[in-house]
Amino acid sequence: AQSVAQPEDQVNVAEGNPLTVKCTYSVSGNPYLFWYVQYPNRGLQFLLKYITGDNLVKGSYGFEAEFNKSQTSFHLKKPSALVSDSALYFCAVRPSRGGYNKLIFGAGTRLAVHP
């Protein structure tokens, strides 16, 4: 069965410190991986995606994520957190073959950046 795990319900970081939001996945074949962010009372916004190529993917707002095939992980990172980064972050996956663009989402991780 295809699935995404975000092991932390919440991540707390001080402003200016690096942040990591973890994601691991289980999918048949090669995965396509995505990160989305949801601010309060808003829809999801696309941050970045891994399709193929360089394992380090750079996205919006200074975020990046590293695809690690052996560990089946796609952790989201940022070198220096901002208070405005506080939001709900979703990792999503789908296999590169079969079916349509059916994304499977993780349960979400709430990022809280403290001044």
Partner 1 sequence: DTAVSQTPKYLVTQMGNDKSIKCEQNLGHDTMYWYKQDSKKFLKIMFSYNNKELIINETVPNRFSPKSPDKAHLNLHINSLELGDSAVYFCASSQSSSSYNEQFFGPGTRLTVL
Residues in touch with partner 1 (CB under 8 A): 32, 34, 36, 38, 41-46, 49, 51, 88, 90, 94-97, 99-103, 105, 107-108
Yes or no: say if 8 and 73 are a contact pair by the CB < 8 Å rule: no
Q: Which is nearer to partner 1, 70 or 101 (CB)?
A: 101
Q: Which is nearer to partner 1, 15 or 110 (CB)?
A: 110
| CB nearer partner 1, residue 56 or residue 107 | 107
Rounded distance, CA 31 to CA 108, Å? 19
Are 89 and 35 contacting, i.e. CB atoms less than 8 angstroms apart? yes
